Structure formats: C-alpha cells, structure tokens
Structure 1
Amino acid sequence: MQDLIRINSHFAVAALPLDRTDIQQAAQNGFGSIVNLRTTAEKQELAPDAEGRIAKNQGLAYLHHPVSGDDLSEDAVERFRQKINSLPGPILVHCATGRRSGALVMMHLAIEQGLSGEQAVEKAAYLGFECDTPELEAFVKHYVNGHTSAAAA
C-alpha cells in the first residue's frame, strides 16, 4: 500500500482513499480496524458503505467518521477520539490526502502522551505530516493545549 505512514504500533495513516486491494493488504498486514474520514460528497472509488462491507469481509472493524476540511471542529475531534478507543488495533486511518487523518491521529496521540500543541506540530512534521495552513496549525495547537491541560488537571 502506497502513501502509508506508520505513526506507532497502534496507528497508521494512509494519505489516499482505499480501494479493494488496499483493504485486503491492510488485513494481511495485521490491521484490526479501518477508519474512513472522507465525506460521502467526496469523489472516491468505494462509497463508505462498500468500503465497510469489504473491510468486514476481510475481518476488519470499520468506522466511517466523516470530517470535511471545513468541519474540523473540537466536537469532531472529540467524537473521533471516543470512537477509536473501542476499535481493535492497529488502526489504519485514511482520508484523501492524509491532512485530516494525520491531524486527528496526532492530536489524539499528543494528548495521550501529554505533549504540548507545539510539540504535537513538531512531531507531526517529523513524521511527514505538515499543517499546510496557518489555521490548521493553530487549531491543532489550541486543541492539544486545551485538552492536555485538562487531562493533567
């Protein structure tokens, strides 16, 4: 599978929509779950329902958690974080370019690891994820800083 970035032993991000072969490879490579962040309005080879059926036929758990680039809100991140906690790992998260999937996974892990927002952005860049807009970078920093402090309190 091309454009796959392994974050750690529990998470990987695919910077592209998955096709049937990618899903089969994910199962063969030991993934336990696939999370699709693409909305139904986005052009994709497999509709989310079809992707879910293929994933389940391969023995994978599947979650369609649509988040548009314009809908990246604290609520969307919170729902993502709650839902992934019940999924078997390792978890493969994907969207169209890796921007959303990378941001959501990095925010989750930064909070779990007690990192600051700045550290989260630096770690994301090191792993190959760029906050490609000032707005995304500001959102990641703000979200992580607000939730890391709350978790430490």
Structure 2
Amino acid sequence: MKLVSVSEAFAVSPQIQAEDMREVTNAGYRTVICNRPDGEEPGQPAVALIQEAAEAAGLGFHHIPVSGGAFPPDVVEAFAKVREQADGKVLAYCRTGTRSITLDALANIENETVDERIRRAERAGYDLSGLRDRLGE
C-alpha cells in the first residue's frame, strides 16, 4: 500500500486492499473514503469488502465514487462534508489517487489559494495544473 501524505490530516492512495486496514489504522487514520465506482476494472476489490474491513478495524468508511473525470458539485460537497466532520486523519483512495487529491483540491478544506493547492498536490506527486480554472471556481 502506498500512502501519500498531502497534509497533516489527509492522505491519498492508489487502490487499497482489505488487508491494508491494520496499516491504515496504525498510521493514525480514522476515516477512509473510496472514490472508485464498484466494478471499474477487473480484479478490483468490491467496495463492500473494503468497507467491512475498514469498519472491523474501527475506521469510518464513506463511498463517494467519481468516474469519467466528472466532479459534480454534489460529489465535491459530500467529500468536503466527510473531511470537515472527520474525527482525525482521513485517507482517500481511487485507482491512482488522482481523483481523491482532485476532490480534496476542489473541496479546499484548508482554505488555500489555487496556487497553494496545486503546489501541495505537486509535492504529493500529482499534477493538478490542468485544473487551475476549475479550482478557481
């Protein structure tokens, strides 16, 4: 499992597995957000399996799927609400981590400028510069 710290309270990851939940908990995370739709690709573990493992490990779990590069306002709002209400560190995952960090940048929980969000994503290994106009909304 590859956890990429974005801020003190937030990290992203490519697809995680049920057996990763102990490591997630040991790393101090308290909430997991899945940003993948079920059945996106062959071999992907079912969201229900990940949710069961997360809850068994004492983690909160939220499924906020994103597909096709679309980030509708209701999805961004749902993501922001989970981040704002989380009791502790949050880990969000998708296939590569890009959708999760994009949702975080759009939600802008830390009230950062567009440049700050792009730089923060860049430090985590993700290029969001192509979303500059969208992040300025």
> In which range does the TM-score fall when normalised by the shorter chain?
0.7 to 0.9
| Residue range with higher mean Cα deviation, 84-93 or 31-40 | 84-93
Runs of 4 or more, structure 1, over 3 Å off, are 111-114
Return the offset for 1:143. Answer: 4.1
The residue that corresponds to 1:87 in the other structure is 86
Segments of structure 1 that go 5 or more residues without pairing to the other structure are 147-153
Using CA pairs below 8 Å that are at least 6 residues apart, which structure has the higher relative contact order? 2
1:126 aligns with 2:117: no
- The alignment covers a number of residue pairs equal to 136
Q: Which has the higher strand share?
A: 2
| 1:3-60, Cα deviation, whole Å (9 max, x unpaired) | 321112210111x211122122101222101100000131354211111111000010
Which has a greater percent of helix? Answer: 1
Q: Structure 2 unaligned runs (5+)?
A: none
Task: Answer yes or no: is 1:145 the counterpart of 2:136.
Answer: yes
Partner-residue secondary structure (3-state), 1:33: strand
| Contact in 2 for aligned 1:13/1:92 (Cα 8 Å) | yes
What TM-score does the superposition give when structure 1 sets the normalisation length? 0.77
| TM-score in terms of structure 2 length | 0.85
Over the residues paired in the alignment, what is the CA RMSD in angstroms? 2.0
Over the matched positions of the two proteins, sequence identity in percent amounts to 24
Q: Is the 8 A contact 2:6 2:120 kept in 1?
A: no
Structure with higher Rg: it is 1
From 30, 39, 48, the equivalent of 1:41 is: 39
